[in-house]
A and B are shown apart, each in its own frame.
Chain A
Amino acid sequence: MSGFIKVLEGLDRRWIYLAMAISVAGPIIYIGLTGRTLPESATPAAEAVYNAIEELPARSRVLFSFDFDPGSGGELIPMATSLVHQCAARGHKMYFIALWPLGPQLIEDTIKRVITADYPHLKEGVDFVNFGYQAGNEAVMKVMLTDFVKAFPKTKTGDASAQVPMMEGVTRASDFPLLITISAGYPGAKEWVQYVVSSSGGKVKMVTGCTGVQTPQLYPYFPGQLAGMLGAIKGAAEYESLVNANLAKTSGDAKVQPKYQEAQRRMGPQLGAHLLMVALIVLGNIAYFAKRREGARASA
């Protein structure tokens, strides 16, 4: 036993990095080759996001705020893909904005990947519109509460926002029955809750998809100020499986495109990495208590 503990104490940390690399890479290769993913069952927070979109009447206005950059894409792009996928399938009108400078490129990428590829009948300006990035963080949110066009006077393509056909009837943030923010930090979901949802006196309903780091900070807002929440890649995987299962039911086509299973694929490496971490924590504790016992014995 003492020899094993000595090995643990003197273990080069690079062996742990290698073990982590293998535990992540192994499942990625397995899932990449077989296409098999782990089963997911949706928690109430993810179900609430799904229901918030599903319960809206068709052609409802949904405002998307892409408040992240490619650095958080591993967690948030799968959420963005599935959220747009569900809204497009339900026939909602989608309004895209970004409070992060790199948001517009991610919006364009999502539009191309989901709307252009799978919903080619949807027209820009009629069914969806990209307003791009606006600097100003909370100030933009405050302006949107009273005047959306003032906050976003032009679309990404340079057209006057007021002239866009789908802007008819839109004056302020509360004209959108649902606000979806995909958030990686500041400004993000917390600021949307503080400056828009709370200030609107309950007129603005919001759901969010956020990074793992933000999730514990946002949980207290659910289910009051946040109608639904996708926390980290787990939330994304739950929501993805829910959307895929229900769309397959309505369309009768059980085959799901790989781009709509990105989060579910990433739960394999999560499992590998988490098992390794649990094992390391257990081993670390065994070594700690064994050493303490040895120390107590030696002093006695």
Chain B
Amino acid sequence: MKPSRNWIVVLAVVAALIGIRAFSGQGMGRVFVKAEPITVQVAADARMGTPAQSVSWTRWSAVPAKAYFAAERANPQQTEIQFSWARTMGLWLAAFLTLAIFSFMYRDNPAYRFAEAAIVGVSAAYWMTIGFWDTIVPKLLGSVWPNFVKANILPSLAEQSTVQVVAMWAALVLGIMLLMRLSSKGAWISMWPLAFIIGVTAGLKIVSHVESDLLQQSVATFKPLLALERGADGAVAMAPTVWLSLRNVLIVVGVLSCLTYFFFSVEHKGLVGRSARVGVWYLMITFGAAFGFTVMGRVALLAARVEFLFDDWLWLIDPSGKRVVETLSMVVG
């Protein structure tokens, strides 16, 4: 049997299981919403010329499926909790996109490419919108033309101080100068704002890095090699003393040996060579720990997606008690 046939069998079994699940018991992958009428009293606004008024609307909030089943059992005619087509489609779309991304593990395919393109497109559009509405409008336009922005775009815009307005005009000029990079003749103008950006960033980072990563980290390395731990009676507690001293020795040896490894002015021979070798071991253990943590992080993300598929979409499990009335054990049993 060719490997591809094995895989077709595996995929067919999975598809059949999903089909069985969809048509057994209460089904799967549905979202229910509850109507919440909201009324707000809006005060009169003399500036905009609007009178005091009462504004009402209905907010539809997602509710657990068990609330819908309970409401239906109590009164089949109820309309307070309803099935939501829009949110159900969203749930199925999320499940489809998750499976589409996972499908790449089998081989590259149109579903994967569609999901990938959708993610790239949506992310780009989202970041552009965020950048425009959270930075350009409130910070730049709101400072340069505060009255216009407050009256037409952002009524909640905070008052701007004169210093802020002047600073933002300077930022606007620097921004335009930066865009001159697109011009073939005026590209040199963009060097000035670039120099400003590099200077400010370096200034900010050098100070904070020296303080937090050089000075304070160096201080944290000055450990007593024999750390005496005393118990409540004032006597030296042997086990904590040994462990703490060992930990301190490991830290000090680790720092010195790793520094020796990266010290290339002396040939790595004799004592220096042996110390550098210890440093290599420390580095390898560090890389291993970093790899282990990365694996743990990725598995946690995978588990979250699989949980979403099994819980929200397939309704196979119910760890949060959203449905209670039906789980896999009830379907099978």
A residues at B contact (CB < 8 Å):
12, 14, 17-18, 20-21, 24-25, 28-29, 31-33, 35, 71-75, 101, 133, 135, 138, 142, 153-154, 158, 160, 193-195, 197-199, 211-213, 215-216, 220, 224-225, 231-234, 258-259, 261, 265-266, 269-270, 273-274, 277
Contact = CB atoms under 8 A, between A and B. Distances in A.
Contact of A12 (B3, B216, B299, B306): B3
Given A74-B304, A153-B158, A269-B306, A32 B316 contact: yes
A233 B316 contact: no
B310 A75 contact: no
Contacts of B294: 212-213
A80 B214 CA distance: 31
For B105, B211, B296, B328, which residue has the most chain A Cβ atoms within 10 angstroms? Answer: B296
Specify the main secondary structure of chain B where it touches its partner.
helix
Interface stretch (B66-74, B108-116, B144-152, B318-326): B318-326
B318 A32 contact: yes
A220 B299 CA distance: 24
Contacts of B36: none
B209 A194 contact: yes
A294 B88 CA distance: 58
A158 B156 contact: yes
Contacts of A17: 105
A232 B300 contact: yes
Given A194-B208, A198-B216, A212-B300, A18 B289 contact: no
B77 interface: no
A52 to B, nearest CB: 18
Contact of B306 (A28, A198, A215, A220): A28
A235 to B, nearest CB: 10
A29 B310 contact: yes
B187 interface: no
B195 to A, nearest CB: 19
B106 A14 contact: yes
Interface string B123-143: 000110011001100010000
B297 A211 contact: yes
A17 B316 CA distance: 22
A208 B297 CA distance: 16
B236 interface: no
B319 A265 contact: yes
A212 B10 contact: no
A33 B299 contact: no
A135 B134 contact: yes
A14 B106 CA distance: 6
B304 A225 contact: no
Contact of B290 (A33, A101, A216, A273): A216
B284 interface: no
Contacts of A197: 212
Interface string B291-324: 0011111111111111100110000111111000
Nearest to B155: A158
A136 to B, nearest CB: 8
Nearest to A27: B303
A198 B303 contact: no
Contacts of B213: 194
Contacts of B211: 194, 198-199
A141 to B, nearest CB: 10
B136 to A, nearest CB: 10
A231 B293 contact: yes
B310 A101 contact: no
Contacts of B10: 18
A273 B299 contact: yes
Given A33-B329, A193-B212, A266-B303, A220 B217 contact: yes
Contacts of B301: 71-72, 74-75
B8 interface: no
B286 interface: yes
A-B pairs with the 8 shortest C-beta distances?
A: A32-B317, A212-B297, A74-B304, A198-B212, A212-B293, A233-B300, A269-B303, A153-B158
A142 B200 CA distance: 13
A266 B299 CA distance: 9
Nearest to A266: B303
Contacts of B290: 216
B204 interface: yes
For B106, B209, B300, B318, which residue has the most chain A Cβ atoms within 10 angstroms? Answer: B300
Nearest to A149: B158
B10 to A, nearest CB: 7
Given A33-B317, A73-B304, 6 more contacts: A28-B317, A158-B156, A194-B211, A224-B216, A231-B293, A274-B296
Given A14-B7, A133-B134, A135-B135, A74 B300 contact: yes
Contacts of B295: 212, 273-274, 277
A8 to B, nearest CB: 15
